[in-house]
Structure 1
Amino acid sequence: MRLICILLLMFSSWVWANTEETSAAPPDQKPAAITQIKTLNTELKELLSESKTSTGSAQNVVSLQLINKNEELREVIADLVNRSKQDDETIKPYHSFVLEQVNYQVKFIEEAIVFLTKKVNADEQKLDTLGDEQKLLTQKKVQEIRSYIQRLLSQQWTNYHWLADLGIDTSKQKNALVNNIEHKLEYLSASLTFNSQQEQTLNKQLKAATESEKGSLQLLHILSERQLASDLTNMQAFIKLADQMSVDTADYKKQIFEQTGNVTNDLLNVAVLLSIVRNNLEDLSHWVVDNAPQMLFKLFVFIIIIAVFRILKNITSKMVKKAVSSPNLRMSQLMQEFFVSMSGKGVFCIGLLIALSQIGLDLTPILTGFGVAGVIIGFALQDTLSNFASGMMLLIYRPFDVGDFVEAGGVSGKVSHMSLVSTTIKTFDNQILIVPNSKIWGDTIKNVTHERVRRVDMIFGIGYSDDLELAEKVFNDIIDEHPMVLRQPEKTIKLHTLNTSSVDYIVRPWVKTEDYWDVYWDVTREVKRRFDEVGLSIPFPQQDVHLHVADAEAASLAKVKRD
């Protein structure tokens, strides 16, 4: 922070010295932005004077104010450059003034980068001669300076764009800056590889070290971890800057992914994915060439393991099927199929992983790829996963099973097949409907055939003038004579309602679930036939109309007839 303060003090005094030499503005009224720049320069000058008499934390506060003021100055300059690019007539007379301000920024950043780079190199050379605690402090200091250099490089790229907008050719400066960034990325890539190997080596040594050796090794490991973290942070920052310059950073992004394993938006970049695939293919080809004598043997072992586990898969599936089919467990058909399928597939997946490890493949990238693919597939198949979750709930709570007649998801019919994603229902007119499980689980489920016995609810009406005892005898005889009607639970035959046109009886026999409709249709037909035999009527709605003629109207009609 103190070093940055010194740079800002240098910049402030240098800018104001040059600002005073700027040619006087035209006599007409100045734009507000021009006046604001001069005001900011005055405020920066006052802060500079105040910083010369400040010490300690007070000087840091003043330096922070200088940073903020300079950011405000750059915002105003950016606004002026944009207006000049749009041919704003009010800015044209001040074109040279704006150009001078941008040049001040360019020159300051050039000098600042040179100064800070020398400082970083000097501090890094001192690291080997410093004590352990001083190394940690110096590392932190170096990282802060590097972060500020990256910030200055980004501002310099903006400065070159400003100059280009003001009509100055900056192609050479831009190319030089791009080359500088590419060089830094190459250096950071090599440093990241070296420090990663160093950290892994120290980590292995630390695990095998004795108690007396762990103290020094732990400190070296901490230093190595911080250096590795610093390299990662710097590379990510330079990659972001290089992307602004249209520099190809696919290999560096791949290196960061391989180092950290973090899934970022960069992985969706085609170039990065191709680089990862290309790198893996190259590693695979080198591995094949170097291990050709052992490859056939490992391939043979791979095939043997796969064959053995296929046999184990079939054995496991049969054992699990026999176990879950036990009547004591009372598992649904879907649950039985689920356990049988998952047990076999689980055994085979374990065998596949063992076989892959035997041929020398590193399973870490494969599992990482599965994780990335799982995230992408999860977002793409949200509805399918919802159906899967609903299928699991149906599996656990078992509201119905294959072969049941149900009303669910707005349809009714016989369940012909069930999976964890959908349920296939065959309607009564032999149509096949495939209903998503989320729609079934999110609605009312009516299982018609879940119970072994059902009650048949029927209502029959007789006329008000018919014999009640005779009607009840007919109902009892019909129900008692039917072979499919159960004796237990007992039937119910009661006079239910005195309706407008009929006296209604409820007739409710109990039957096996599979005999429901046969009994319903048979009893209805038999009631009609018996009523016709014994003379009982089945009333239907009717209306009698009675005409009453008044006496006066009758006399008038009689007179008309006599005449």
Structure 2
Amino acid sequence: MKWSFFVLGNSRRFIVFIFVCLPFFAFAQESLPADAEDTKSAAKQLKQTLSEIADYRELIEQIESEQKDAFGFEKRALGKQRLNTLTRYRNLLQQYIEDITALEEQAFVKKHQEKAINLVEKALQEIYDDLAVSDKAVGDLEQSIADALKNIFSLNEAPAKDRVAQMLWKLNLIRRYQEDVFHALVYLSRSAESLGLNADKSLALAEQRVRKQADTLSGFIGLNEDKLLQLEKKKAVVRTESDTGKALISQSALVNLEIQEYANRLQHMVTLLNELGLSTALYKKTVIQARDSLSKEVLDGQVFSHLVTEWWLDFKKWMRRQAPSLIGSAITLIGIFVVAYLLSKLVRRIVSISLHRSRPDMSELARSFLIVSSGRLIILLGIIYALAQLGVQIGPLLAGLGIMGFVIGFALQETLANFASGLMILIYRPYDVGDKIRVAGLEGRVKEMTLVTTTIFTSANHHLTVPNNTIWKDIIQNITSQPHVRMDLFFTAPFASDSKAILSAIDDELNQNKVVEQDRDKHARVYELGESEVKYIARFWVSSDDIDEAKWSISEAVKQRFDNIGIGKDS
């Protein structure tokens, strides 16, 4: 009983001890440095990567051994397998070196660094050998393609074209493989630098080969863009539904795909050139134009700044080369414009003097139109001559101006209607500057005339600008077109008034008024009989400049005479 109590008591004490000490154990565990654990994990990872590298190395050697005894399709398949395995091997080797350089344990790094150096040196040597073999293959294929193209018309055309197409396909595969080799060359060279090796030779080779490949791809893009342009021209003259049109559409689609493929490969070369620290602005511009859209790279501030800087340097070079011719052209243009301006003023003056002497009765609108048009014609001829000096084709330019004029004319129909009405007024001359007219419910003196509007000042000195189309569509009364006009004034008097006395009063006023032309016919008559009044008419002639004065003075004087003889007064 005592023993069981003791055991139970000790168990309780042990459990309490565990719960009390557990947080301290946890704290101690958390307080232990993690470097040892991280180093152990990194060592395990590097060991696994190194094992995979060895496996790939063994696989490559095995494929190379089998490839020596293979023929035909089997040999080509083994060759493709070798290339794919080499690419994975080099990528894995690059990752292995990056993992080594990321470690901080010096002893551990030194242990793996020696292995990495041996692997990198061997990989770079294999790259040199691969490039030499692939360059020879490219040279042989290019020579074979050139020979086949020379003899293509003397042989059976269809099989010869198939052989050329097959060789071009092989050539494209080799070049694409070389681009993968360039990628490995660049990054393994950087890895060699990080391991302390001298990578000047490999980096120089990478710079030369990557730039050459970028130039080649840019050339292919340019050639395909020219081919696409030719196809577009052919498509423009055939019907889309026809067999020829469908064939051209298919060809254009294939050429577009080739352009996009070359653009993607050029973008890969641009990435490698950036890694090498070389200028890539022109290549990026080619990629952007080939893709026909702005890439995200262009929106990056540094890339955009680099592009602008590159273009600015190219612009300055171009300016240095073209500066003498540009300065000469600028001086020529300025001289042509100055001479044309002075000549236009001289011609306007000559035309103005000639018109005043030969046609003094010409309307102001016609005179100003001829004077202004002659000056503007000289200016226009000067501009055309200046453009011709710059090498601009005048024929297409004039055709374009004609089309643009048609579009503008369609948009400005109302303005053209006013212009046409102005021409009609110019030809038929219903009025001129200085004439007093009555038109469209308006009356005033014409102050200014253009081919679009007529400016009129009313008797109240109101300034009115009237569209010529409004005037031409209405009845135009030119009050001052004749030096003398006949006027009719009407007076009314009660029916019971003495008609003789009224007619005598009106006649006396007409004979005595200074505004009335006394040498012309004038008389007063009963004009109309009303129910309670009689209307009388006074008919006489006055100068066209005195119309208003005659109306006011005669009306006032006749009213005074009526008052004197008691006409209109209450009986």
TM-score (norm 2): 0.45
Alignment TM-score, normalising by the size of structure 1? 0.45
